Amino acid sequence: MINKKLVLITGSSSGLGFELAKLFAEDNYDIAMSGSSERIYHSAKEIEKLGVKTYPYKADASTYEGVENFWKFVESKGRKVDAAVLNVGISLGGAFLENKLEDELRLIDINISGTVHMAKRVAKHMVENKSGDILIVSSLSATLPTPYETVYGPSKAFGFMFSEALRVELKEKNVNVTAMLPGATNTDFHHNAGMDNTFFGDEKNKNDKVQVAKQGYDALKNKLDYVVCGDEETKKEAIQNRTTPEEVKAMRHAQKAKPE
């Protein structure tokens, strides 16, 4: 019988998922980790150096099978899943008229369908066990229209509102749901989205991933409904976004995300 806690973290071979994995490991959680490439095995070895057990799994979160098979893999360990971080997500820079529809639909598959799919499995498991913590990684982009990442922002707005809704339904079942809204952060995220030639391609315009992950982790532990993650400027922007007209926010984002 294993008494240690277990957390499932999607998209944890690098970036925020990996930073969150480190924080859970420091808190003595074993970790089920997923990514779409071989580096998930290397990243799991890095986490094991912190003295916990890992269960790495390679699967494409843009497919139904990829999400389902990761869950089945975790379930097959026969352990209680105490926490889950629904982190995996991608963006896609560039003009809507020029981007390929298949790439936009893939983003929706990962950021929306995949999140709902894993939330379904994890929530049922946690309710059966009468406890659990779920962290849904949304974005500051949930609070504004995002031209030149046209589909990304709305996918994160979905994640934010989905998280808040699920929180209310699961509260009475003793399962906590917290949403994490990072501002732009210094991971490979914007490079992977083809946005090197934008404001977001410059590291100095971004938040520190260690700080962002810690703020998300602390919010989950304190069972907050959501947290904006990043520096004071990022937090100020989130507050201003509540009253700034959508059109103004959209124009500002277009300036930052439009390829040079």
Ligand X SMILES: NC(=O)c1ccc[n+]([C@@H]2O[C@H](COP(=O)([O-])OP(=O)(O)OC[C@H]3O[C@@H](n4cnc5c(N)ncnc54)[C@H](OP(=O)(O)O)[C@@H]3O)[C@@H](O)[C@H]2O)c1
Binding site for ligand X (CB under 6 A): 11-17, 34-37, 39-40, 60-62, 87-90, 110, 137, 139, 182, 184-185, 187-189, 192
In the bound state with ligand X, the residue whose beta carbon lies nearer, of 72 and 171, is 72
Cα 123 to Cα 78, 126, 244, distances in angstroms: 16, 5, 35
Q: What is the rounded distance in angstroms from the CA atom of residue 43 to the CA atom of residue 58?
A: 12
Q: What is the rounded distance in angstroms from the CA atom of residue 3 to the CA atom of residue 20?
A: 21
| Closest separation in Å from C-beta 16 to ligand X | 4
Q: Quick one: which of 77, 74, 21, 60 has its CA closest to 44? A: 21
In the bound state with ligand X, the residue whose beta carbon lies nearer, of 102 and 172, is 102
| Closest separation in Å from C-beta 126 to ligand X | 21
Residue 250 CB neighbours (<10 A)? 15
Helix axes 15-26, 39-48, angle to 10 degrees: 20
| Closest separation in Å from C-beta 11 to ligand X | 3
CB 71 within 8 A of CB 42: no
In the bound state with ligand X, the residue whose beta carbon lies nearer, of 89 and 94, is 89
| Closest separation in Å from C-beta 47 to ligand X | 12
| Closest separation in Å from C-beta 130 to ligand X | 28
| Closest separation in Å from C-beta 131 to ligand X | 25
In the bound state with ligand X, the residue whose beta carbon lies nearer, of 36 and 129, is 36
In the bound state with ligand X, the residue whose beta carbon lies nearer, of 192 and 244, is 192
Q: Quick one: which of 110, 122, 114, 136 has its CA closest to 227? A: 136
Q: What is the rounded distance in angstroms from the CA atom of residue 104 to the CA atom of residue 106?
A: 5
Buried/exposed code over 200-236 (b: 16+ C-beta within 10 A; e: otherwise): bbeeeebbebebbbbbbbebbeeeeebbbbbeeebbe
In the bound state with ligand X, the residue whose beta carbon lies nearer, of 130 and 134, is 134
